Amino acid sequence: MNRSEAAATLQITKPAREVFEAIVDPGHMTNYFISKSSGRMEAGAHLMWEFPEFDDAYPLRVDAAEQDALIRFYWDVDEVECKVEIALSPGSTPNSTVVRVSEKGKFPDTESALKFMKSNTEGWANFLACLKAWTEYGINLRKGAFEFRRKD
């Protein structure tokens, strides 16, 4: 088994409280990342997320939601439990926030595991770009972007 990690980081020119709310509040998150959530990301919550480009719903368990600082949740990927951490820290300019996402899981040393983690690194980079576009400009970058992936 290999401990694989996907990671992405981006600075957003909004205060941590706005960025945190954009992540934990499904009313915001459905404007840039998911199409539906069964609730707010709060410690101890068991949620179901739906994405516009996939037919399935994805369960996750929120482990931590530390105001303006950290969101940590677990979800299963190909029967492997993965830990996702979204850490917020002060940016290099006033009222900006650096957002770091990491996803870790113990996957077998296979080509498909490597491909998955590469894909999730791209996915988290996309999440951050969409979060930035939504929080700074009110633009939903995902709208229409992934319909080609939907299964018919």
Q: Is residue 110 scored above 90 in pLDDT?
A: no
pTM for the whole structure:
0.90
Q: Residue 123: which of 36, 63, 33, 40 has the closest Cα? A: 33
Specify the pLDDT at position 115: 75
* pLDDT of 91 higher than 90: yes
Q: Does position 151 have pLDDT exceeding 60, yes or no? A: no
| Mean pLDDT, the chain, integer | 89
Domain boundaries, the chain: 2-149
CA-CA distance, 106 to 80, in Å (whole number)?
7
What are the residues facing 49 on neighbouring strands? 37, 58
Q: What is the reported pLDDT for 144? A: 67
Tens of pLDDT, residue by residue over 127-147, are: 999 999 999 999 998 776 666
pLDDT > 70 in the chain, percent: 90
CATH of 2-149, one of 1.10.357.10, 3.30.530.20, 2.60.40.10, 3.40.50.2300: 3.30.530.20
DSSP letter (8 states) at residue 147: G
